[in-house]
Structure 1
Amino acid sequence: MSEPDQSTVVPPGLSAPTVADRLRPLPPTAERALVLPLPSIDTTLAVPIEAMRAYRRPDPVGDVVRCDVDTTRRLMRPKTVLQTLWTAGRLNGATHDDVERLTEEFADSAANLALSYTQRNQRELSIRQQASDADWDSDTAFLRAATDPILRSERLITEGHPLHPGAKLRQGFCSSEVVSYASEYDGVPEIRFVAVTNEYSSGVTTEGGLTLSERLYELVSGLRDAVADAVTDAGHDPESMTVLPVHPWQYRHELPERYGRELDRGVIVAIPDCALPAAATVSLRTLVPQGTKRSTPPHLKLSLGIQTTSSIRTITPQTVHNGPRITDVLDRVLDDGQFKSLRGLPETAGACFHDPGGPHTDGQSHDRAKHLSALVRHNPLKYVDDGKLPVTGAALLSRGPLEDRPLIDVLAPDGGPDMTASFLRRYAETIVPDALRLLVAYGIGLEAHLQNCIIVFDDGFPDEVFIRDYGGLRICRDRLAAASHSISLYPGSVTVSDEMRPAYDKLTYALFQNHLAEVIRFLVRQGTISESRCWEIVSAVVGETLENLRYDGIPATWIDDAAEVLFESTWEYKCLTRMRLTDKSHSYVHESVPNPLSRSSE
């Protein structure tokens, strides 16, 4: 570790070298220490880090250490670190209640992470015991052997969100429910069903598509008869009802508590005699039906009233109604022959409980709509050619069960820095050009973070990328109209804006600050390539893409504007911990950080 700056402010009686000495023994990869003096309580916090990564992100590799004048101790719990900072007055005006709430979130996340690590160890032992008989000689072979490699890859994801302080927060689940409903435990929740009178429901489909009820009847054997029996007994005509799939946790907890009156009145009718086994995905609320006659059953995104990271994972009426409408637009745009490797995963039908009247943009009716809602999405396996391997982007950072290293290390070919550089360029070329074309030419900023992307590998290199979940993307209405497309969305939707900035911010945060920054961080850990070279590669792909757009007749002013944003010297970086302190997940807090794509130093 390099020697600390002698000018560093430390508690009275301590020198900077003393602080460094107290951190030893250090993890072998630690290059320096991040030191935070807390003079108001005469102490210092320090943590070994591997490096300061792009966007000024420290890469910690050891415990936080508290260095008082006479003692040194390791702070093993997030709660202790948070309370130390609170006592020192370093939490930017957060209240005591804010600290208590965030402490609870940290504790829940830490407990779930510990449980997840235990499960990973047990899983790996089981897989290794099966490997010889199953002819799994590598992690790649293990993934390829699955009927659904995407689902198998998601079950390897142990650590959750790569940037969020509550990466494994599942507030609302007890431990047994975590095990029953989470993907890393091979959770197989049984989807339940309710029927809602058409007067109290609202839905939408893609142009000419089937309704949510019709799609469910096609998918689930016996559902039509079970609905007919239940609603007839309640005095309704089956044709006057909308069928909604319900997550079993929601069915057990939220349905009787939030909709008890509607159940008593027969506005909502539970369907007790039909359930659909489904595999949990990493998102928890999106489930993959099992045991159906279809080899690629659609994915069902269901409301789930628990908090993960910063949000309660319900589905707003805006998302329900917008998904199929965005699908219609994206399908037309992506099918025009200009896009090479990016495909959207259509959201074909959605429906929700919907009090009469509306639209409901806030208040109790909006809340009731978002807790009983669902969307149907195409299964990405429909689009994967034989011989190719699809993997969820977030799984690339997870340890494979057989080779004891991240999947990206397994999938990226060995061969030194030039081979790693070639892999990264191919990876960037698979997603960046098409995502930027959507942004610049159509005003659509994708939420292309790791969890939303399925990366399809062919002969060891990325070949295609599928984008799922349209609820978080952003659209500039005027730019889309200038490209001869229009869209009408549910009132109160933050999805659309009259300006480009929200679309820029969505893509730059999700794709560059989250997705590619994590891919690069793991490639750099292999030790064969520098981080600066990695970002030079990505920056070059961005520049080449913008130049290619000029040749395609995209207005020069649009491209120049995009270049200014993408290459500006600093970007705004989302401060997730500060946002959690104020409990304002949709009121963003930013800090200006150096942009690794910037060409200002050239």
Structure 2
Amino acid sequence: MNQLASLPNVSALADNAEHIAEERIFSDLINTLLAERFLDDQLVDWLTPEVLGRLLSLPDGPFWEWPVGTSCLRWWVDRDAKQAIVFPVKKAIVQPYRYVPSGGVFSVRFLDSGDIAEPWHKLTPVELLQHVIAVCLNEHQRQQKGVANVLDLLATTQWQLRQSIAGSTTERNLLGLSTAQCFQALERRAALRDRPFHPVAKAKQGLDEANHEYYAAEFDRPMTLRWIAMDRRQLMLGTQAVAGEMLHEPMDLILTAAERQAIEAEMASRGLARSTHLAMPVHPWQMEYGLPEHLSEMLAKGDGIPLETAGGVFQATSSLRSLAPIDSGRHYLKLPMAVFSLGAARYLPAVKLINGERGQTMLEQAKPLDPVLQTRLHLCEERQWWSYMPEGSGLFDDPPRHLGAMVREYPATLLEDQGVRLLPMAALGVPLFRDDGHFFDDWLRYRQLPEKADAIEGLFGEVCSGFFDIVLRLYRLGLMPEIHGQNAVLVWRDGHIDGLLLRDHDSVRLHQPWLDRNGIDDPDYQIRPGYSNSLYNDSPRDLLFYLQTLGIQVNLCAIIETLALHYDVEEASLWRVLRGCLKDRIAQLPFTAEERKTLQAVLFDDVRWPLKCVLRPLLEQQGVPGSMPSGKSTLPNPFRSEAFLSAEGVR
């Protein structure tokens, strides 16, 4: 197996954590640089086979880990000084070339003969990015605020990923755990990668080493919630958080009777009646750091009064601010944190909660329109929320966004069924850093299948079919949920994929004419004036953008990469399975002739596919948005790529 796929034991893992983290970052960074065309206008060529062969044969050289047959890309950062950066790449399906893991990135000077002059220098990811900034950006671009921030994000990613690899806990025998325990174990695994292929996804700016180890999911640390008594007149409520119905308030949903009584006793002793004040949970990190920094005026006015009594023990999930109860209950929490991840602040604005309600309503209206959606599409309940909204504030004002809470309720029919396992798709796409195994290991044993390519491809086909079936049925009605691997959760029941569970409904995209055709109401999303709007899509092709990018290039491609590494299966074979499942689902669903024509053209016939860019928008970033900065470009259609067609035997 590849070194990034598995390591032999925990002690070796700790010793290698720095190297593994660096190579994981190099893979994502270089692949992003190539995909987003940073080097397209640079002087780039290839080392000749003769020079590369001599390098690989050096007994004490730095290039011994490069596989035989590797191509070596040479980027001239200073042609006059004969100074270049070299790194190994291979032809790939999702983009023309991808970095070869564990190969290393080197700054070297070349002799007139073409050989490399000693000494050579092995770069760090930050040093590589510094070269990119110096050579690929102009002076105006280098002065953008985002540039310094990306350098900090990359450095933060490296130490936090190193810490996570060295200290994370994972579980074997996932099917031996309860449904809720297995779900949380897979959430911890998903947290090890966060957003696949994003070079700074792991960075959580604002957390020092102690807080990162305490609050990040992969370390499996329980935390006790803090509470604040909020003046009810200063709150906005979700439609399922009706004032006066105490069973729909946070304390009653997530605390034990003893914990609730302790908080009520403190409130009573301080003259804070439940009729005038609501006890709202606060993330302990936010209580210590976020509220004093961002809501000091609110605290001084007394709109919110911090309580001394703590209660409710939770753990982080793959999303730092989304918390799971340690008692395996179905009421989870989403709380704001003044932490920055993926270039965005992790606050919890009321506008996102409002849009989440409206997205959920659309999905609920869609279910009765399709018998399969009715039984196999599952939704988290996300209409129980409370948000600080003082008089005179607007939905897009900054300070109130740092205080709020949403109780996310998982379907009891799933979480309490011991024949069910909930599989965050992101957990299936995490390269394994130790010998803990992949969920497919458990699945193979359950089905009594051999660990062979045919069996792996068969199970992956079940993943693809189950996923595409739900997503395409929603697309046919004019909807496209946020289907990256963190939000899309497969329902595994008694050894088979039996449905899809969706959470985080605030970005359900739509094509209005198809909603109208099917009697689904316009959600009337709240969109900040002057900001881009990706929720309303003018054409079916626009809606398919999110299937191609989030659904396939991010979600399923990460699973392909991981399965290929862990089981030594050819990536092209898994892409072939994906294509077959996609074609089959399209053929089986009742699309019109015109709709089929669009699907065939966009997914299979077009020479190029869209790409969701992540690095350029970060470098150009000026402010602090509430969602990940991104842009658009294109890549070759993976089903028409040279690497895929070559594997198919097509020339």
Decide: shared fold, TM above 0.5.
yes
Secondary structure of the residue aligned to 1:386 is: coil
AA paired with 1:42? K
Q: 1:145-177 deviations in whole A, cap 9, x for unaligned?
A: 675111012223434332111131011001110
Name the structure 1 match of 2:311. Answer: 275
1:465 alignment counterpart: 500
Give the C-alpha shift of residue 457 in structure 1: 3.3
Single out whichever of 461-470 and 381-390 deviates more from structure 2. Answer: 381-390
Contact 1:144 1:389 survives alignment (8 Å): no
The offset of 1:528, in angstroms, is: 6.0
Deviation at 1:198, TM superposition (A): 2.9
TM-score (norm 2): 0.78
Does the 8 A contact of 2:511 with 2:538 survive in 1? yes
CA-CA distance at 1:182 after TM superposition: 0.8
Deviations 1:337-368 (A, max 9, x none): 2326432222131121113246x243xxx212
1:572 aligns with 2:610: yes
Q: Residue 183 of structure 2: which of 117, 128, 150 is its match?
A: 150
1:396 is aligned to 428
User: Residues of 2 paired with 1:563 and 1:175: CA distance?
Assistant: 49
Q: Quick one: which of 161, 165, 175 aligns to 2:199?
A: 165
Distance, in Å, in 1 between the alignment partners of 2:187 and 2:426 is 8
Identity in percent: 21
Deviations 1:132-156 (A, max 9, x none): xxxxxxx335753675111012223
Q: Which residue does the alignment assign to 1:187?
A: 221
Q: Secondary structure at the match of 1:486?
A: coil
Q: State whether residues 35 and 44 of structure 1, in contact with CA within 8 Å, keep that contact through their aligned partners in structure 2.
A: yes
Alignment of 1:200 with 2:234, yes or no, is: yes
Structure 1 runs not aligned, ≥5 long = 1-7, 128-138
- Tell me, yes or no, if the aligned pair for 1:30 and 1:51 is still in contact at 8 Å: no
Partners in 2 of 1:595 and 1:323 — Cα distance?
32
Which of 367, 375, 381 is equivalent to 2:406?
375
8 Å contact kept, 1:305–1:312: yes
What's the secondary structure of 1:524's corresponding residue?
A: helix
In structure 2, what is the equivalent of residue 4 of structure 1? Answer: none
SS across alignment from 2:520: coil
**Matching residue within 571, 575, 582 for 1:535:** 575
Q: 1:428-456: per-residue Cα shift (whole Å, max 9, x none)?
A: 11110110111122x21121112222233
Higher relative CO (Cα under 8 Å, sequence separation at least 6) belongs to: 2
Q: Is the 8 A contact 1:140 1:411 kept in 2?
A: no
Tell me how far apart the structure 1 counterparts of residues 233 and 561 of structure 2 sit (CA, whole Å). Answer: 52
Aligned residue for 2:638, secondary structure, equals coil
Q: Does 431-440 or 565-574 show the bigger shift? A: 565-574
Pick aligned residue for 2:384 from 336, 340, 349 = 349
Give the equivalent residue in structure 1 for 2:15: none
**Match for 2:427: what amino acid?**
A
Alignment partner, residue 439 of structure 1: 475
Aligned length: 568
Query: 1:561 is matched with which residue?
Result: 598
- Aligned partner of 2:153: which letter? E
Structural RMSD (CA): 3.4
Aligned counterparts of 2:105 and 2:563: Cα–Cα separation in 1: 25
Matches within 5 A, 1:19-418: 21-22=54-55, 24-28=63-67, 31-40=70-79, 42-49=82-89, 51-56=91-96, 58-61=98-101, 62-69=103-110, 70-89=117-136, 94-96=141-143, 98-120=146-168, 123=169, 139-141=172-174, 144=177, 148-157=181-190, 158-206=192-240, 214-220=249-255, 221-222=257-258, 225=261, 228=264, 237-291=273-327, 295-336=328-369, 337-339=371-373, 341-357=376-392, 360-362=394-396, 366-379=397-410, 382-384=413-415, 385-398=417-430, 403-408=435-440, 411=443, 413-414=449-450, 416-418=452-454
Q: State the AA in 1 paired with 2:300.
A: D
Contact (CA 8 Å) 2:611, 2:632: kept in 1 or not? yes
TM-score by length of 1: 0.84
- How far 1:119 moved relative to its partner? 0.7
**Stretches of structure 2 lacking an aligned partner (at least 5 in a row):** 1-41, 57-62, 111-116
Question: 1:57-91 deviations in whole A, cap 9, x for unaligned?
Answer: 61431211122122353434211111222333457
Note closer, same or farther for the CA distance 1:496–1:102 as it changes in structure 2 (3 Å cut). closer
Deviates more, 1:458-467 or 1:422-431: 458-467
When structure 1 is superposed on structure 2, of 164-173 and 539-548 the one drifting more is 539-548
Say whether the 8 Å CA contact 2:44–2:73 is kept in structure 1.
no
Any conservation in 1 of the 2:45–2:74 contact (CA below 8 Å)? no
Q: Does 2:544 align with 1:513?
A: no
Moved more, 238-247 or 584-593: 584-593
Whether the 8 Å CA contact 1:156–1:184 is kept in 2: the answer is: yes
Q: Name the SS for the 1:35 alignment partner.
A: strand
Aligned-partner Cα distance in 2 for 1:575–1:241: 45
Structure 1 residue matching 2:75: 3-state secondary structure: strand
Partner of 2:22: none
**Distance in structure 1 (CA, Å) of the matches to 2:297 and 2:475:** 46
**Partner of residue 456, structure 2:** 420
- In structure 2, the CA distance between the partners of 1:367 and 1:234, relative to structure 1 (3 Å rule), is farther
